[in-house]
Amino acid sequence: MSLSLFDLKNKVALVTGATHGLGMAMAQGLGRAGATLVINGASSQTKLDAAVAEYTALGLQAHGYLFDVTNETQVIENIQRIEQEVGSIDILVNNAGIIKRTPLEDMEVKDFEQVIKVDLVSPFIVSKHVVKGMIAKGEGKIINICSMMSELGRNTVGAYAAAKGGLKMLTRNMATEWAKYNVQVNGIGPGYFATSQTAPIRKEGHPFNDFIISRTPAGRWGDPEDLQGATIFLASKASDFVNGQIIYVDGGLLATIGKPANEN
């Protein structure tokens, strides 16, 4: 098998929410495989510019576009700009997302709806308008970032789990409708990763840290770079007959019921 199957040179990859964290790690992987990166952010131009500078410092080609992925008008306008200024989008990674940790009985309807809008509706909006260009040229790759919560429930994340479970099924339906155009749509479900957001609960002795390490067969938190292989695979020709699948990059967490706390 030739490594050229994984070569992304001359490909344009749009990664939403890639100014930090797991989105940035996945985008860096695509860039290292040769893709020209288009990074989306929504919070501030300053943060977006800083992220683009970080990619550039690594020797990657990166362009930043500030827009709200839940706003269809902004999405349409910026996809047109990207196609004119950078090129036709070959790879789309729907990574942008939010979480609100509130027990369901206490959660405001507006907060529930916001999570659904960002985590489920926005991948539909962005994919709907990017896929038109993919259909026109007869090829494309869409990767939706799902979650452990696409399969499992957990206290206080009901809205997030509902959105990510929906995204899993949206992924399968996108694949069903668009496979005939040679567009592959798959998902990645990250396990528990070491990021700045999880730093407070990864301290040795913290109950959640101990729970994740004991619950995960690999015995550790994921490193953000652990996501790069799956991302490159699903973005490349190596996955041309893979469609509608969710790859869980979780150290084996979903494969096991777990073990008692006192078991080695």
Q: What are the pLDDT digits (tens) for 54-81?
A: 999 999 999 999 999 999 999 999 999 9
Q: Tens of pLDDT along 87-137?
A: 999 999 999 999 999 999 999 999 999 999 999 999 999 999 999 999 999
Q: Residue 261 has what pLDDT?
A: 65
CATH code, 3-195+222-255: 3.40.50.720
- In the numeric block, which tokens belong to residue 237? 């020709």
Mean pLDDT of all residues in 245-257 = 96
How many C-beta neighbours within 10 Å does residue 193 have? 21
pLDDT at 1 over 80: no
Confirm if 75 and 133 have CB atoms less than 8 A apart: no
| Interval 39-62 mean pLDDT | 97
What is the b/e burial string over 229-241, where b = at least 16 CB atoms within 10 angstroms of the residue's CB? ebbbbbbbebbee
Rounded to whole angstroms, the Cα distance separating 209 from 124 reads 34
Q: Is residue 160 annotated as part of the catalytic site, yes or no?
A: yes
Q: Which letter does DSSP use for residue 193 in this model? A: B
Would you list the domain boundaries of the chain? 3-195+222-255
Comparison of pLDDT for 199 and 114, the residue scoring more = 114
Q: Which residue in 160, 181, 192, 248 is the catalytic one?
A: 160
248 beta partners: 189
